[in-house]
Structure 1
């Protein structure tokens, strides 16, 4: 199935309007508009047509109704197996559903049958793509954020059925419970040295790693400062070289000479141009005189002809004026009749408008009651989260084990262990096994056979009849200091345990973990509280009180349905508009008749004046021939004078210099001179700024500090590597066990892994996904030799993996013969510039044989996605 067109009528912000998206193509279709344009409305409209019954009246359908009310109509054109069908649903008013075969123009299903046809052909009947392929705004995982357990189970079953249908009947893989217990024991041993699923360092290892990272960040800053110093020195040298070139005497003299010469040429061209202008004025005067002489001659000839025709024109104007006065009277009578009819119609329309206001007020009261319920629900949730945060903070206050206390105890444990080893190293133990009757003595006491005797420095063992053995141990002079230090360390450790109100280090660690869990829970509850009540619980209380005040003492006076009143009002307004149109036409007819009557009256007066003027201009009939001859002679004299002036002007123009070239050259010379001056000022300011920056960096000694930090960082990095080697064996054991367990799971998840693998490689060369067997969702991301739980990933990475997984499942649907579009509503909102380009590549790769529709408000960020961008047509509903 592929979407080809979408039509919305009277939906949300498009109340009273028809909006259509036509010609949706096969690959990527991009709907990229600013915020509040209505992109999510398009997404919700598609969802409503495919997954909501036309009889539904739930919250999601009610949200489609515009503020002005009325019914909602949504049309969707789809292509299935090469054939096109138009699906239309009407919600809330005049409810109905229909499916039309567009090739034949016939309706093939209505209402309930249409709903069955949609479920059968688009896939809603067996789980459908909602939440699996269609991504609503703000969703990061494969399931809607507010999905109930039953909905999550249904979506997981749909994914499981899809995998089974593609991979064959394979039993659900558990990985082996015995293997899980072994892995758990291995993980517990590993946690003693590292923490978390990422095997983050702990204790001294963590200290070394953190210190190395801090130094690395400091080194990066110093390296950048050194680079800035080098760049500033190079730029200052280039600036000074350019200043020297601008200040060379030869260059300055050349610019000044060029400007002076250009000004002189421009002045000469301007002087000659003034002479030409004077000659042109004389020629224009002569031509004007010639033209006036010819005009006078022609006017006299025309006046004689005009006098002959003016009399007949006067008779025609008088007859036309009488006819138009009769037409004006008829038009005024028709206008008066229409005014009376319009007054009656407007009176009825005003009554319907008053009834509509009462109906709209009833609708506002209904919405206010819904707002009371919504705010009350928000207030309950906000108070629950506030109580949770308070309880967690109280437990934290009662728990004395902080991160610092835990670190102090772990240091004390290491110190006592070190001192015990020193005490053991400062003494030696002797075992005696007798074979005869002779017995050894120590300090006058006989040593019993088989006992382990601790010998201190200077101890003497008597061998009767043979010798006395004296024992001298290395560093023996410090024995008393070590024992004292050990006693002090044990006392300090006991004091720290007492402060923490526990008896063992393991208990301290457990209470520290509890404190961290309480802190995380408190932060989460406080964050949820801020989300539910950004202005505080008191603001919600006030909003609830305001909403209740709105509906207080409201009577439930019955009114006609708003739709019925609107229909009657629409008919009345149509009648009003029709009468106004007819009245305007009648008024225009009156005005037209009045104008024509005035025109004919003016024409009559003009005809009288015309005859009078024509006779005055023509003069007496017996003198007209002599006057014609005199005017012809005057025109010939003026023509000869104009010809002489034209020849003089032509001679001046032949010797004229090119004024436009001279002006352009002057403009060029002035701009070059001014640009050189401004450039020198800019370079001087830049040199001063660079010198100040160079002096500052030189005084800070950034290069010496960089070398010192680099050496310290190398030392700490080496120490961190030694600590890392201590956990390598446990990591290798754990990885080997997980590899064995993962081998059993690969057969079941291989179909989706096969589709997902090339898409993941676009983002991470060595990445892989570990799947949750029960929910059939990504459980962890493997990359760079580490495994990270899905919920611990950044929001951007979670979003990217979720979208790539949807692309893979879309490919699996296609394998099964279900070609379903992927629809993304403001997705990739958490992706940085580099990752979003790679995601665009992944979308285009899948779009080669998969329809993808993307809604987004990020016009600049999504400019690189490509794809088709259809026109959105909007018009008022007739």
Structure 2
């Protein structure tokens, strides 16, 4: 089966019908930017071949465009019976049809069966599951696939492999090897679990448990024997320690040291009591002297405070009288100043009224000049506005700067492609030795190197001429595309060439500059617009007639200034007098408060002096001298006792040490006696239990159990080795099973990695590791680029196997090479070309620049109205 054309309608972005024609039998490439609809095309083909027309699955509803509609696809295919047209529509009025020419071959369920037979047989997943690569799938098995989809794909791989390697059953020994391996695993299952651990309740587990139990019991008995030996040794040591501690001479020495320490502590305590009484007397004498000294000082302070308070009261009373007199004088002087201030304010108001009237008259006179100026500016703005309209139209006509930049870029691309074509074309170089020169089109040539891009005639004077052709291998497709793109861009702008575009762009720029000048003039003449000027004109005051006796503005201003100065003088004099009166009132109040405070301080000082009683300074001084003499005598006695005092702390420490030695000895004797009794009991129990006899019996039983365990482990090892040998033989047979696909894959794989091999999994029938330089690398750790390259090459190998079986299915790749670097992508392109000789391949890619060098048939999506490229 080979695809010939595809038409989509109401599928995602393809709201209007879109069609791809002229799909070739070999390599076909649709290279377009992202969101062009390539994945939609891929999903539509998947739906045609694998989704029933009555389906409303998520895959089908996901094809419906946002504006609604019934997704529909029509595909022309070439079959051995001739060209057929397959068509399906979903959701609204669903239908499926198959036509051969204009003849209806099948419809509805019969059409579904016809289409299904094209891509799969009974029990197979179909070649599409092996050969089609969806966008973003870098591995052979996608993470998003369901278990059913994975099983279907695996069945397809298995059926394909079996059809080309049907002798695998005879090579592996068939069911006999399976039975031998199964019997070996059954025997192993008596001893081990699937994870290789001893089976619970099995012979191996029971033998290991018996050995462990006997080893544990032997260790316990050996520990008991060691305990008995240790107890006998310890009892001898305890008896020796008890004899030392209970020796009569040692006991008497400890008692004598305790009695001496007790006597010394009693003497130190009695001396400490005498010293404490002396210290108490010293504290009393010290307190008495301090109390007398404090009382004398308080009496002296109270007398000084009373004298100071009396003097302050006299001074404050005199200051209060003077302040009251000054306040009366200041308040009397404030009244005439207030009257003068009122008169000055009235004069200022009258002068201001005259000045305002004069100013209004002056404004009315100047309004005529302002009116004329506004009328002139309004006329200027109207003229500029009329000139601006044609310039605005000219500034919007012709190619924009962006259009000119795009045209220059396209022109540059044409020149680059022409230079690349010339560089890759055959080169001819002339070396002239005489006066005669080779000519081309009548023009003599110099000693230069010339590219030959088309059939060219060179004339050689005296010899004739020769014609040089570059041959059919020269590809100028890139230059043709660049020239076509430039022509299309010029046609879109209705231009003949780049020079015309530049001239029109220059004219548009001149008009834009003139437009900016007019806009600047408008902004200068009317910053706020024409309406604002007209509003200012309407707001000018009307003409008024001033009274004849009205003074001039300058005369009125002088009179107003004189009145203002008089008001300022009157205000200053009044404010100064009022401030002085206020200051004197505050001074009067402050003096009164000070006098009251002085009276209060005098009363407090007299009360404090009365509280000290009738004592005189002389009497208190005599009492203080006597107290000082008593303090000196008490301190002398205290110091003498302190100098002769024994060290109470040292005496207490000595007694504590003596008691500790005695108590520790008694405690140790008691502990050793208890330990000796425990040791006697332990020795009596252990010696009568037959520990040594049981230890010898347990050791003999342990040797026998270990021998049994060794025999079982030997049998398990033999079974494991047998299973490994059988599995190795099966793996070798599996390698022969995979040999057909490896044979097809090896030349494709080694185009990227010389001497590389792939390891296949026998269960999933998929590669699991890449072997390079003798090192096996799991596919999961390889880069995304390497994984997608392997996935593509394996599909190409499956395609070769399908072709060998007689099934020709198209290979479709939707952005299958996303992470591949430039060097490897060239090699992948070579592999695709090698496959395209007898296989139809359709490549969908958004990497336009990279896939430009792939070659093949360039596909084009054409809408009902215009081509999309």
User: How would you bin the TM-score normalised by the shorter chain?
Assistant: 0.3 to 0.5
The alignment's TM-score, normalised by the length of structure 2, stands at 0.35
What is the TM-score with the length of structure 1 in the denominator?
0.35
